[in-house]
Amino acid sequence: MKASTFVYPWDVNGDPAAPDRIASLGVEQVTLAAAYHSTRALTPRHPRHRIVTAEHASVLYPADDRWAGRELRPYAAGDWAPGDSFGEAAEALAGAGLEVHTWVVLAHNSRLGAEHPDTSVVNAYGDRYPWAPCIAQPATRAYLVDLAAEAAVRPGAHGTELESLGWYGLQHLHAHDKTGGVGLGDAGMYLMALCFCPACRAGYGAQGLDADALAAAVRDALEPLWRGATEDEGWAGVEKLLGPAYATATRAWRDETARTLQETAVRAVRDAAPDGFQVLLHADPVTYHVGANPGVDPAHILSVADGVVVPCAGGPALLTPFAGQRREGAVIAANFGVVSGMGGSPATLAADAARARELGATEIRLYHAGLASEGDLDAVREALAAR
């Protein structure tokens, strides 16, 4: 199976040894960040630094004039990725024989939420999630679509992977995160992800719901969980807490909103890209799931994009719904963590990849060559050599 590893431009720029070191892992491709959220990242082998602090979400290249005069526009990176950092790193990696694809993070931007709070998801209590742009709002959708097209189709790129192209919710580490004191479970997290901004309130109205009554019902449904009760997991738990009618209507609104955004963004990328440019989405096969791997309908998304990148940190089971579509030529990439200090398991990569292949994976992704220790990278080399 073809293997690709995720990389940041700051892992490569200023380190002449980085491209060959990454190629020596046995990967054929790199998925290189072109638009990325705020982060603090270790760079354990870089000759000039050990920690990179990306202070806010930004594009890692010079944005073009499509943004002139627009209120919502991407932010330029600071000194962690100056100028065309993506282009510089892409050229160096291609020089080592690696195929470069862009890595584009979309509906995840805390600075956007801080400076334009009306763009954020608002939960049933009126709390805003500044890291989570509401994908129902027309201006936000236009921003995300144009960002996808610009950031994905960078010079030298052969394809893209679009992350966070869907709903975001509570599940996000934000600064010194202290939200784990109550176990809300899958159902509670869905209820905490429901947005009540003006656009979503209108959307619920189109489903025949009164938004105020729905918000009250969501708060009532969550109350037992705040007191420590546990409920059925999965969609059955949502229906039990909120009631089938409310649950079905909210999901219909959210599924349609995400689906149409994904269709529009992929079409915009294809319109901007050369022939043969590959478009993949980071995705979960359960449509009501939210986050970096937003929920999608497998049949639908494989009719829109060239494939998916599927999180496999908890095992490869999420691959099965995508592989079951039996789409000719579809990429189904299993995404494995290989940073042991972040919960990855490079020592079991060979076995994990073999199991993923049995379940229909056509490629693997490795998170993340720049963050991993020397021991982790040695384990990756050994596993990929055994393919």
Nearest Cα neighbor of 351 from 367, 341, 364, 332 is 364
- Are the beta carbons of 11 and 18 closer than 8 angstroms? yes
Task: Classify residue 174: in a domain, yes or no.
Answer: yes
The radius of gyration computed from the CA coordinates of the chain, to the nearest angstrom, equals 21
Query: Any idea what DSSP says for residue 288?
Result: T
Average pLDDT of 27-42?
97
* Cα separation, 374 vs 359, whole angstroms: 30
| pLDDT(339) > 80 | yes
Residue 256 three-state SS: helix
pLDDT digits (tens, 9 = 90+) for 44-96: 999 999 999 999 999 999 999 999 999 999 999 999 999 999 999 999 999 99
pLDDT, the chain, mean: 96
* Cα separation, 215 vs 126, whole angstroms: 9
Average pLDDT of 114-142?
97
Output the six-digit token pair for 366.
């490795």
**Ranges of H-type helices in 107-243:** 110-115, 138-152, 185-193, 198-206, 211-226, 234-242
In the chain, the percentage of residues whose pLDDT exceeds 90 is: 93
Sign of CA dihedral 281, 200, 171, 318: negative
Task: Classify residue 217: in a domain, yes or no.
Answer: no
pLDDT score at 171: 79
Average pLDDT of 326-340?
97
pLDDT score at 48: 97
Total domains, the chain: 1
Furthest C-alpha separation in the chain: 60
pLDDT score at 312: 97
| pLDDT(164) > 80 | yes
HEC readout, 208-242: CCCHHHHHHHHHHHHHHHHCCCCCCCHHHHHHHHH
* Cα separation, 89 vs 103, whole angstroms: 13
Average pLDDT of 261-289?
98
Task: Classify residue 242: in a domain, yes or no.
Answer: no
Average pLDDT of 312-338?
96
pLDDT score at 359: 97
Report in angstroms the alpha-carbon separations of 231 from 219, 246, 292, 331. Answer: 15, 17, 25, 36
Q: What is the CATH number of the domain that holds 59?
A: 3.20.20.80
Average pLDDT of 310-324?
96
pLDDT score at 141: 98
Helices 211-226 and 185-193 cross at an angle (nearest 10°) of 150
- Are the beta carbons of 134 and 121 closer than 8 angstroms? yes
pLDDT score at 183: 76
Task: Classify residue 44: in a domain, yes or no.
Answer: yes
pLDDT digits (tens, 9 = 90+) for 245-267: 999 999 999 999 999 999 999 99
Task: Classify residue 141: in a domain, yes or no.
Answer: yes
Report in angstroms the alpha-carbon separations of 114 from 57, 68, 81, 117, 365. Answer: 12, 21, 22, 6, 32
* Cross-strand partners of 230: none
* Cα separation, 1 vs 5, whole angstroms: 13
How many helices (DSSP H) and strands (DSSP E) are in the chain? 14, 13
Task: Classify residue 65: in a domain, yes or no.
Answer: yes
Task: Classify residue 266: in a domain, yes or no.
Answer: yes
pLDDT digits (tens, 9 = 90+) for 176-206: 677 677 778 899 999 999 999 999 999 999 9
The pLDDT confidence band at residue 335, using thresholds 50, 70 and 90, is very high
| pLDDT(276) > 90 | yes
| pLDDT(118) > 80 | yes
Domain containing 302 equals: 2-181+256-385
The pLDDT confidence band at residue 228, using thresholds 50, 70 and 90, is confident
Task: Classify residue 247: in a domain, yes or no.
Answer: no
